[in-house]
Structures are given as structure tokens and as C-alpha cells.
């Protein structure tokens, strides 16, 4: 197989980094199973076998932690690792005798082995303060606090179906669909620093950015600036990235909301969109206890009440939203859930189509 030519904006060809057994049997697997939570076993048509051990990481890692993981790969595995889309690290070995010592090395170094099958896999989170310039919270911090609480659900496969959680640190950009998602929620319009707007912002671009046309150009104290029609503003925060003087983040008024029932996969049913089920939760670092409490309440109600193989969206579909709110003991208001039928033609209806 010829290597794919690298392009400036793309990832390199992954085959150069693959475990040799995976490369040799690429696209030629006969079946796979899971001997225990956190371990995948693949058997090829050629008779080759590969065991993959999956461990959780904190995703945003310092160089010492990455070196530690690489040392484990060199000593206990066969020198190859890969990361999953949920930031788990996977070690591949072609000898079953290496699996148990590898698991022991990982767990004794603080990396739990799990995240496969019907577990709560690692929470996918957006970049947060480390990389992005617009977050209203630190997504990775809320993940760490929650995964500490859900440790046993990661290392076991006790859920009715797999559970994917996510957190997003703004309302508008890189979060995806998840069974349960924690998403920033701004509750007041941006505060404008009129002294800076003319120097920093391209005003037509900011005006065009607002989804409800709430921004218009204005002269303030003799300087070109912008103004917001606060009755129209939906507090989405879309004006803040192109114009930082329109400050939307606020220690008190930027809250967190919980959304439920999203799913990207086509397995058993169509992809589904999440719906907001709890809002106005305090953005309360470093452990976000109020958010963790609501997520765990939803998660364990689902665990106790869902039938085998129901994802959270399937479970809610079967029992209905009123019963969902009753069972989870969550207050329902008219601002929660969006069942507007017209949105079917205006929103993405497939994971294959993205904005
Ligand atoms: S979710 Fe928003 S704030 Fe967070 S990393 Fe993505 S773009 Fe930045
Ligand atoms: S927060 Fe959103 S709705 Fe409000 S002015 Fe900015 S872009 Fe418009």
C-alpha cells in the first residue's frame, strides 16, 4: 500500500505508526470479542490475534505523563499506542501473556483499564482554557471531577448500553452529541467595552455573526462601536469570538446546563439530538458538585430503569419526557426540551452532514 501524501492541513498517514499486526491484517479481521472490561481481542482471517488494552487518561497531559505512558508501552506492550476519540489510550499486544502485566502496570500507575462495551467511557470534552480563547468554563476540570465519581462505571460494563458523556465550554462551537452533556449556558447579553470595539473588532463581521440580528453599529462617545438589542439577544455568545470587547463570560451569570439523549451512531436507530433537561446550574470549580449530582442522578435512574441495550435516547423515547422528569426528580419548565417540529428542516438530521 502506498503511503498517502501528507497535506498541510491533514493528519499524517496513520499506517506508519500502526502496530505491525494491525498493519498486516488491515481490513481482514474475522471477529472480535471482549475477554474482560477494557480488553478487546481481535482475530484475523490469517489466524493472527491482537489484544488491545484500553486505559483512561486525563486527556490534557503533561510531558512526564506521556513519557510514563510511552515507557509502559515499551516495557509491557509492544511499543505501539493509539488514542481513541474519547481520549482513552490503547496498547496493542500479540501475546495474551502480556495482557495481565500490562493491566497491572497501568492500574498501579493510576490509569484505570476500562471504557469498553456498556461502560461509561471517558467523557469527551472540548479544549477549554488550555487551547481556546472563548471558553466560559474549563471543560476538562468538570470532566476530571465527574470521572473521579464515575470511576467504577468506567472499569465495569454494567450499564444497559454504552454511555457517552461530554462537556462543552461554550454554547456554539465544538461540542457534539452525547447521551448526557454538560454545556455552558450564558444567561445575560454581552457587556460591551466601547473603548476597544473600534480597535479590535471588524464590525460588519460581528453584526453578521448574530443569529437573531440583535447587533447593530452605533456611535458611542463619538467612537464607532456596536449596540445590542437586549430583548432580541439569546445570549448565545457568538459575537464574543470575533469581538472580545463584547464580553459574554461572567463568573456569576455564565451557568451550566445538562442536555440528554444525543447519539451520533446509526446503530439500532437514527442519530438523535440532545435536549436540555436542567439549566442554570452554578459553574462551581474545582469540583462542580451541583453538576455532578444532576448527571449522576440521570445516569443512575437510567441504569435502574432502562431495558438492556437501550441508549438514553431510546429509554426516554419509551417512557416519555414527562416520566423522565418525574423519575429523575428534575423540575420541568417551558424552557427545557425543544420539540419544535420545524427544526427538522433547519437542523442537521444526519451525522454525515455538518455545518
Ligand atoms: S467548546 Fe467553544 S470554548 Fe470550548 S474549546 Fe470549543 S470553541 Fe472553544
Ligand atoms: S450573544 Fe448571541 S444573540 Fe446576543 S448579541 Fe451576541 S451573537 Fe447576538
Residues 285 and 156 in one domain: yes
User: Measured from the CB, is residue 200 less than 6 Å from ligand 2?
Assistant: no
Residues 170 and 297 in one domain: yes
Residues 255 and 325 in one domain: yes
Residues 23 and 132 in one domain: no
Ligand 2 pocket: which of 170, 185, 236 to mutate (most atoms within 8 A of CB): 236
pLDDT higher than threshold 60 for residue 86 = yes
CB 275 within 8 A of CB 338: yes
136 domain residue, yes or no: yes
37 domain residue, yes or no: yes
* Nearest atom within ligand 1 for CA of residue 169: 4
| pLDDT for the residue 176 | 78
Residues 82 and 176 in one domain: no
4 domain residue, yes or no: no
Residues 76 and 211 in one domain: no
User: Measured from the CB, is residue 72 less than 6 Å from ligand 2?
Assistant: no
Residues 329 and 263 in one domain: yes
3 state SS for 99-132: HHHHHHHHHHCCCCECCCCCCECCCEECCHHHCC
Domain range enclosing 159: 128-187+251-338
pLDDT higher than threshold 70 for residue 351 = no
Residues 317 and 268 in one domain: yes
Ligand 1 pocket: which of 123, 124, 128, 166 to mutate (most atoms within 8 A of CB): 128
What are all long-range contacts of 350-353, with beta carbons under 8 Å and residues at least 24 apart?
350/270, 350/271, 351/264, 351/265, 351/266, 351/271
Query: Which H or E run contains 141?
Result: helix 139-149
Beta strands at 165-168 and 180-186: parallel, antiparallel or unpaired: parallel
User: What pLDDT digit, counting tens, does each position of 308-333 carry?
Assistant: 999 999 999 999 988 999 999 999 88
Residues 41 and 161 in one domain: no
* Nearest atom within ligand 2 for CA of residue 209: 7
The number of C-alpha atoms within 13 Å of 230 and in the hemisphere containing its C-beta is 8
Could you say which of 247, 263, 282 is where a domain stops? 247
Regarding pTM above 0.85, the answer is yes
pLDDT higher than threshold 60 for residue 49 = yes
Centre a 10 Å sphere on the Cβ of residue 74 and count the other Cβ atoms it contains: 12
Average pLDDT over residues 228-255: 94
Residues 142 and 63 in one domain: no
- Distance, in Å, from the CA atom of 319 to the CA atom of 102, rounded to the nearest integer, reads 43
Residues 135 and 183 in one domain: yes
Centre a 10 Å sphere on the Cβ of residue 353 and count the other Cβ atoms it contains: 8
| pLDDT for the residue 354 | 40
Residues 276 and 291 in one domain: yes
Start-to-end CA span in the chain (Å): 33
| pLDDT for the residue 173 | 82
The total number of structural domains in the chain stands at: 3
Ligand 2 centroid to Cα of residue 76, in Å, is: 52
User: Measured from the CB, is residue 206 less than 6 Å from ligand 2?
Assistant: no
CA 307 to chain centre: 25
343 domain residue, yes or no: no
345 domain residue, yes or no: no
User: What pLDDT digit, counting tens, does each position of 271-288 carry?
Assistant: 888 899 999 999 999 999
* Nearest atom within ligand 2 for CA of residue 228: 5
43 domain residue, yes or no: yes
Domain with 39 in it: what CATH number?
3.30.70.3340
99 domain residue, yes or no: yes
Amino acid at each position: 500500500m502506498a503511503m498517502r501524501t501528507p497535506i498541510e492541513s491533514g493528519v499524517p498517514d496513520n499506517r506508519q505508526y500502526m502496530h505491525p499486526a494491525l498493519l498486516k491484517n488491515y481490513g481482514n479481521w474475522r471477529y472480535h470479542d471482549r475477554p474482560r472490561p477494557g480488553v478487546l481481542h481481535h482475530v484475523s482471517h490469517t489466524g493472527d490475534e491482537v489484544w488491545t488494552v484500553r486505559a483512561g487518561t486525563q486527556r490534557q497531559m503533561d510531558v512526564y505523563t506521556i513519557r510514563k505512558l510511552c515507557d509502559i508501552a515499551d516495557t509491557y506492550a509492544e511499543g505501539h499506542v493509539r488514542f481513541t476519540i474519547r481520549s482513552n489510550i490503547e496498547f496493542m499486544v500479540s501475546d495474551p501473556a502480556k495482557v495481565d502485566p500490562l493491566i497491572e502496570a497501568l492500574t498501579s500507575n493510576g490509569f484505570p483499564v476500562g471504557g469498553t462495551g456498556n461502560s461509561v467511557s471517558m467523557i469527551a470534552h472540548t479544549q477549554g482554557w488550555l487551547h481556546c480563547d472563548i471558553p466560559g468554563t474549563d471543560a476538562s476540570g468538570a470532566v476530571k471531577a465527574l470521572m473521579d465519581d464515575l470511576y467504577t462505571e468506567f472499569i465495569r460494563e454494567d450499564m444497559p448500553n454504552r454511555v457517552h458523556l461530554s462537556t462543552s465550554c461554550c454554547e456554539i462551537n465544538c461540542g457534539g452529541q452525547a447521551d448526557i452533556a454538560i454545556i455552558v449556558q450564558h444567561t445575560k447579553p454581552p457587556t460591551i467595552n466601547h473603548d476597544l470595539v473600534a480597535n479590535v473588532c471588524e464590525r460588519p463581521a460581528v453584526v453578521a455573526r448574530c443569529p437573531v440580528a440583535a447587533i447593530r453599529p452605533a456611535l458611542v462617545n463619538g467612537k464607532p462601536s456596536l449596540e445590542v438589542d437586549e430583548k432580541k439577544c439569546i445570549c448565545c455568545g457568538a459575537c464574543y469570538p470575533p469581538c472580545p470587547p463584547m464580553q459574554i463570560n461572567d463568573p456569576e451569570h455564565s451557568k451550566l446546563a445538562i442536555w440528554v439523549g444525543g447519539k451520533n451512531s446509526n446503530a439500532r436507530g437514527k442519530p438523535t439530538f440532545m435536549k436540555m433537561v436542567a439549566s442554570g446550574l452554578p459553574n462551581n470549580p474545582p469540583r462542580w458538585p451541583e453538576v455532578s449530582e444532576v448527571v449522576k442522578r440521570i445516569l443512575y435512574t437510567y441504569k435502574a430503569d432502562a431495558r438492556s441495550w437501550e441508549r438514553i435516547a431510546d429509554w426516554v423515547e419509551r417512557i416519555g419526557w414527562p416520566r423522565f422528569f418525574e423519575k429523575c426528580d428534575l423540575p420541568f419548565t417551558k424552557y427545557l426540551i425543544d420539540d419544535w417540529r420545524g427544526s427538522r428542516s433547519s437542523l442537521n438530521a444526519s451525522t454525515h452532514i455538518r455545518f
